[in-house]
Amino acid sequence: MTGGTALSTAYDGVSYTRGGAVDRRDVGALVQSAADGDAAAWKALVEGLGPLVWSVARAHRLSDADAHEVYQTAWFRFAQHLGRIREPEKAGSWLASTARNESLKVLKAARRWTPTDDPQLLDRVSEDRTPEESVLDSEEAAAQSERVRWLWQEFEELGERCRQLLRVLIASPPPSYQEVSAALGIAVGSIGPMRQRCLRRLRARLEARGAA
């Protein structure tokens, strides 16, 4: 995989996005263009890869404030490294692993201040997040939003490994398995089987609730 192959991708006057999502094959070319000073290419990268970066912070159960800082740090550092990245087409993995490292540092710093043996207690859970508030309010969406709320609740209560894997997998646009691997430090080959098991576990929970 070299960045050069994608360089011929025409971006002038052509939408970077397909269905609102940056095609992963365009990432290398967008990075090159952004490094050359193209602000629109940078914006397309933010749109295409921002949700992945956010999902990594969320997968690590950071508080809102910490997740905000991790997200910013990853993008600020990416801007610094823009012209220096060796494999531009892997920018998603670069960002995902930067966000992971920063998230782990947040957890580690919290651990030093909180002497405890229980790793579950070390995760700082977001306090001020009230998903219900952000659900669309219109009547039209009410029935659907109830289903969305159920789904999210069951997802949040999945075991930690499943919740973490799925949170990154459901970034939009869907990340590649390379990116998921970089985001969570797990082998690419284990992602498919874990994903299947976790989705089935989630479905079983929904069925138990009568919401499948």
145-184: which residues touch another protein (CB under 8 A)?
145, 148-149, 151-152, 155, 166-167, 169-174, 176-178
Choice between 7 and 141, CB closer to another protein = 141
Residue range at the interface with another protein (CB under 8 A); choices 9-17, 63-71, 117-125: 63-71
CA 169, chain centre distance (Å): 7
Tell the smallest beta-carbon distance from residue 120 to another protein (Å): 20
Size of the site for another protein (CB under 8 A): 72
**Residue 11 touching another protein (CB under 8 A):** no
Tell the smallest beta-carbon distance from residue 82 to another protein (Å): 6
| Strand partners of residue 22 | 17
**Which residue in this structure is represented by tokens 């970077």?**
16
Bond before 173 cis per omega within 30 degrees: yes
Q: What is the DSSP letter of 61?
A: T
> Whole-angstrom Cα distance, residue 111 to residue 81?
30
CB 106 within 8 A of CB 60: yes
- Long-range contacts, 74-79 (Cβ 8 Å, 24+): 74/98, 74/99, 74/102, 75/46, 75/50, 79/42
Q: Which two tokens stand for residue 149?
A: 């709320």
29-48: which residues touch another protein (CB under 8 A)?
34, 39, 42-43, 46-47
Tell the smallest beta-carbon distance from residue 192 to another protein (Å): 6
Residue range at the interface with another protein (CB under 8 A); choices 6-14, 81-89, 117-125: 81-89
Determine which residue in the list 32, 33, 73, 97 makes contact with another protein, applying CB under 8 A.
73
